[in-house]
Amino acid sequence: MERKASGSVRAVCILAILLLASLTGCLGNDEPAVSGDGPVELVVFYDLTNGTIEEVHSDGQPTTMTGAGFSFDFRETKSKEGNITTFTFDAGDGTDPVSINAEDESVLTYEYLSHGIFEATLGAEDENNNTASMKLKLRVELHVADTQLATQEPDRISIDLNPDADSLGLPAQLYLISTVENPTNAFGAFEDSVEVTWSLKNSSEEEHGTNSEILNGGQSATWENQENSPEAALWSLDIDIVVAGGNSEEVNIQSDLWALYEEDESDPNPE
């Protein structure tokens, strides 16, 4: 037969549940994007807390760069003592804070042009100068994509691992993947084999990784490499082509290099 808990037992159980709930509220991170002990309640939605700067290179030279973009939606932010007038974002990268008029728009966007780990600050102000703010850690990485077509002497490919001066950390890894193709010529004849040698070097020209492959006509090979805790400096990838018999042969090359950081950014807070 089932026994019913006594009143004292039930009281202990209820007390334990309440205590556990209070600890969960203290230790958890259920509402990382809500802040404000005063009249202004700062509520912000954001889908991403990490992004990548994209650099496109051609024959070793930069051609275009796209910054790492972030978007913050303040529309649920309100104040008990008046209308909200201003939303702000301090990127933590040494640039001036960005502000928007809360009466006109509620979504603030920002684009990082240098990589690193940043402590950003989100804020809001009402018409009576009451304010609220919150901190947010953002991770910004760098990707360099280089394309070299029909080349006999590949150009050096470089990536700058120096983080922004205000970054909270250094790159944790330099990762690369490079593919060389020895295409079939238009006539399908007189094709020479090609010896390809990749070499990763730091700013002192010290070699930190190398690989060689022999490619016949129509073949390709890929070298993948990673350097953990790399020096925060300019690194380079050299690709050397040697053709059998001393003849000339054109190759196609696609190389991608990344400056990567530890994944310790704040959690996203999507709508």
Residue 100's CATH number: 2.60.40.10
What does the H/E/C string look like for the chain?
CCCCCCHHHHHHHHHHHHHHHHHHHHHCCCCCCEECCCCEEEECEECCCEEEEEEEEECCEEEEEECEEEEEECCCCEECCCCEEEEEEECCCCCCCEEEECCCCCEEEEEECCCEEEEEEEEEEECCCCEEEEEEEEEEEEEEEEEEEEECCCCCEEEECCCCCCCCCCCCEEEEEEEEEECCCCCCCCCCCEEEEEEEECCCCCEEEEEEEEECCCEEEEEEEEEECCCCCEEEEEEEEEEHHHCCCCEEEEEEEEEECCCCCCCCECC
The answer to whether residues 189 and 246 belong to one domain is yes
Q: Looking at residue 204, which CATH number applies to its domain?
A: 2.60.120
Taking alpha carbons only, the member of 93, 153, 102 closest to residue 124 is 102
The answer to whether residues 253 and 154 belong to one domain is yes
Q: What is the pTM of this model?
A: 0.84
Residue 10 falls inside a structural domain: no
Q: How far apart are CA 29 and CA 246, in angstroms?
A: 65
Residue 13 falls inside a structural domain: no
Tallying the residues shown for the chain, one arrives at 271
Residue 31 has pLDDT above 50, yes or no: no
Residue 5 falls inside a structural domain: no
The answer to whether residues 208 and 252 belong to one domain is yes
Taking alpha carbons only, the member of 194, 185, 158, 161 closest to residue 261 is 161
Domain boundary among 86, 113, 140: 140
Mean pLDDT of 131-143: 97
Mean pLDDT of 59-76: 97
The answer to whether residues 123 and 201 belong to one domain is no
Residue 268 falls inside a structural domain: no
pLDDT band, very low/low/confident/very high, at 192 (cuts 50, 70, 90): confident
pLDDT band, very low/low/confident/very high, at 15 (cuts 50, 70, 90): very low
The answer to whether residues 38 and 134 belong to one domain is yes
The answer to whether residues 204 and 168 belong to one domain is yes
The answer to whether residues 119 and 160 belong to one domain is no
Residue % of the chain over a pLDDT of 70: 84
The answer to whether residues 172 and 189 belong to one domain is yes
- Provide the pLDDT for residue 36: 53
Residue 7 has pLDDT above 70, yes or no: no
Query: Looking at the 3D structure of the chain, how many domains does it have?
Result: 2
DSSP at 178: E
φ, ψ for residue 112, nearest 5 deg:
-80, 135
Q: How far apart are CA 178 and CA 210, in angstroms?
A: 12
Per-chain mean pLDDT for the chain: 87
Joined together, the tokens standing for residue 151 give 């080349």
Residue 29 falls inside a structural domain: no
Question: 189 lies in which domain range?
Answer: 144-260
Domain boundary among 107, 140, 173: 140
Domain boundary among 112, 140, 168: 140
Residue 197 falls inside a structural domain: yes
Residue 222 falls inside a structural domain: yes
Q: How far apart are CA 215 and CA 195, in angstroms?
A: 6
The answer to whether residues 96 and 154 belong to one domain is no
Residue 18 falls inside a structural domain: no
The answer to whether residues 133 and 54 belong to one domain is yes
The answer to whether residues 89 and 157 belong to one domain is no
The answer to whether residues 118 and 49 belong to one domain is yes
Task: Pick the more confident residue, 117 or 3.
Answer: 117
